[in-house]
Amino acid sequence: MDCLFCEIVKGGIPSTKVYEDETVLAFKDIKPMAPVHIIVIPKEHIAESAAGINSENSAIIAHIFEIIAKIAKEQELDNGFRVITNSGEDAAQTVNHIHFHILGGKKLPEKLA
């Protein structure tokens, strides 16, 4: 399987790591859209997108959201932040390994679409 984020997990592609545990990795987005732009992923390729979340794999998604809160504190995003998961073509998803964007560090635009 040819998956960019699986390669990052394996260390084949370098990344700037922000957080890591047994099941989750977070790293800086290579093309940041805000002063803080972090990608959070399950290390295992459990789903291509949010459309693939089900009762078998949702525990790790809950864990990811705990980590998101922890990262937001560490990054001092006390004034707020946005979590985005693009799912599929209409959302302009480019990497088909489920992931969550944390965006913050400035006042973000109100409009998402």
* Positions that interact with ligand AMP (CB under 6 A): 4, 13, 15, 27, 29-31, 39, 86, 92-95
Report the C-alpha gap between 46 and 48 in whole angstroms. 7
Residue with tokens 């809160």: 69
Q: How far is the CB of 87 from ligand AMP (least distance, A)?
A: 9
Residues constituting the chain: 113
Between 46 and 68, CB nearer to Zn ion: 46
Report the C-alpha gap between 61 and 42 in whole angstroms. 8
**Token pair recorded at residue 23:** 């099941």
Q: How far is the CB of 29 from ligand AMP (least distance, A)?
A: 5
Between 77 and 98, CB nearer to ligand AMP: 98
Q: How far is the CB of 105 from ligand AMP (least distance, A)?
A: 15
Amino acid at 43: K
- Say whether 97 is catalytic: no
